[in-house]
Structure 1
Amino acid sequence: MTPVRIIIIAKEPRPGFAKTRLMPALGARGAADLADRLLRHTFTQALAAKVGPVELCVAPDAETPYWQALVENASGNSGQPVALTQQIEGDLGTRMATAARRGLENGTPVMLIGTDCPTLDAGRLARMAATLAEHDACLCPVRDGGYSLLGLTRLDDALFQDIPWSTGQVASLTRQRLKQLGWCWQESELLMDVDEPADLHHLEEAHPQLARSEP
């Protein structure tokens, strides 16, 4: 199979910066701690999928000790080199398009993923990567109307422009754009992500080890 580059779009899990929509339920520190667990889980699954290079595209600063330690430990434990890149300024679409373009210019298809969908495990990542051998794109939609993964073998900025991010229209608009482009794509089943306090119940049921902090 042609290697596929997994690009994780991630925020450093600082209190008041990451998972702010969960702060009413968890507080700033609790939301940041959950963001850290979700990020580490996502990173571990991306490495375990073994479909190609793994890249952390991060904000606000790739040079902080948090990211340096995370990459060093992962590379040492997995034996896989990890690329660490900085997100550019701009809205989410601008940042994702830039990351995708950079990855495609390296000569492989790309899969852009976030860190808030724990059901996006190594097996599912591998299956979605395999679909890019016969499709222009792939998509993992989530229950709130967004998506947790967008895979691409080529790029068109229409997929990222004028999208109302963090709304229930994201996946449906992306499908419309893919159809307008005349591209073929493959979708997974509907997945669960963790964005709002109401999602915490589902997380506790499906992934209790992620829902609870270590004592």
Structure 2
Amino acid sequence: MNQKQNTCIILFAKFPAEGKAKTRLQPALGVEGSAQMARKLLLHSIEQALATDFSVELCVSPAPSHLCWQTLDLPKSLLWSAQADGDLGKRMLSASQNALDNFEKVLLIGSDCPDLTTERIQGAAKQLIEQDSVIVPAFDGGYVLLGFKKAEASLFSNMTWSVSDVAAVTEQRIKDLNWSLAMLEPLPDIDEPEDLQYLPVGWLDDYKVVAYNG
């Protein structure tokens, strides 16, 4: 079994619709600029994931059949799935369980972290050769990548998302499962105006930043 069959990256994404995407960036980038940034982050994340040569599944809302996705002209090699009903935990658990029917390892990522490069994703996958799980924490206390070889409901259920202890709670739950864990270097998510300082060089050149003092 080669690497591409062995590992599946599941990238969770919502369509970068104007007025609905990256709304917390609107004080700095405006409504249109925030949607453009969401699109840029998504396309970058897809590009980095596909360059790993692993299988990449885009788990999306709205469903893949929605015409909006055709406007992004995404690579044909992507696998597609619709996000399940329920909170983020239920959606991640469902997608993970489905993927593990066909793959030995799953890496869950989002599209908020441009520093989650091809090399870092490959490095996380490599940890799963020896470890049961791997986390790339986020600066804000969440995580930008979670990888494992089994999907346990306890990793996702009764979790308060978008708070500062998500990674720590997940780490404790992994310990409760008696799994080994590789905890890698934290990386920044791009969610708030103060996070714009972490964007790659040049990413803001085409934007009029209206309220950013980083």
- TM-score, with length taken from structure 1: 0.89
Secondary structure of the corresponding residue to residue 49 of structure 1 = coil
SS in 1 for 2:158: coil
Shift of 1:60: 1.9
Which of the residues 141, 157, 164 maps onto 1:161? 157
Cα distance in 2, alignment partners of residues 96 and 143 from structure 1: 21
The C-alpha deviation readout for 1:53-99, integer Å capped at 9, x for no partner, is 110000123223342454x6412xxxxx2111110121111111111
**Whole-Å separation in 2 of the counterparts to 1:88 and 1:211:** 34
What stretches of structure 1 of length at least 5 have no aligned partner? 76-80
Residue 136 of structure 1, CA deviation: 1.1
1:28: how far off?
1.9
Q: Distance in 2 between matches of 1:211 and 1:86?
A: 31
Q: Closer, same or farther in 2 for the Cα pair 1:64/1:143, shift >3 Å?
A: same
Q: Identify the match of residue 143 of structure 1 among 133, 139, 145.
A: 139
Q: Which of 26, 35, 39 is equivalent to 2:29?
A: 26
- Candidates 49, 52, 56, aligned match of 1:49: 52
Does the 8 Å contact 1:34/1:213 carry over to 2? no
Per the alignment, do residues 18 and 110 of structure 1 end up closer, same or farther by CA in structure 2, a change over 3 Å counting? Answer: same
Q: 1:198 aligns with which of 194, 203, 208?
A: 194
**CA RMSD after TM alignment:** 1.7
Out of 90, 93, 104, the position equivalent to 2:100 is: 104
Alignment-derived partner of residue 63 in structure 1: 65
1:87/1:95 contact within 8 Å kept? yes
Q: What percent of counterpart residues are identical?
A: 42
Residue 75 of structure 2 corresponds to which residue in structure 1?
A: 74
The answer to whether structure 1 residue 11 and structure 2 residue 14 are counterparts is yes
Distance in 2 (CA, whole Å) between partners of 1:87 and 1:156 is: 18
Work out the CA distance in 2 between the residues paired with 1:211 and 1:148. 22
Aligned position for 2:115: 119
1:209 maps to amino acid:
G
Is the counterpart of residue 211 in structure 1 residue 204 in structure 2?
Answer: yes
Runs of 4+ in 1 over 6 A off after TM superposition: none
Contact 1:11 1:58 in 2 (8 A): yes
- Quick one: which amino acid aligns to residue 137 of structure 2? P
Q: Distance in 2 between matches of 1:28 and 1:179?
A: 42
Match of 2:43, SS state, is helix
Shift of 1:26: 1.7
Per the alignment, do residues 17 and 181 of structure 1 end up closer, same or farther by CA in structure 2, a change over 3 Å counting? Answer: same
Secondary structure at the aligned position of 2:85 is classed as coil
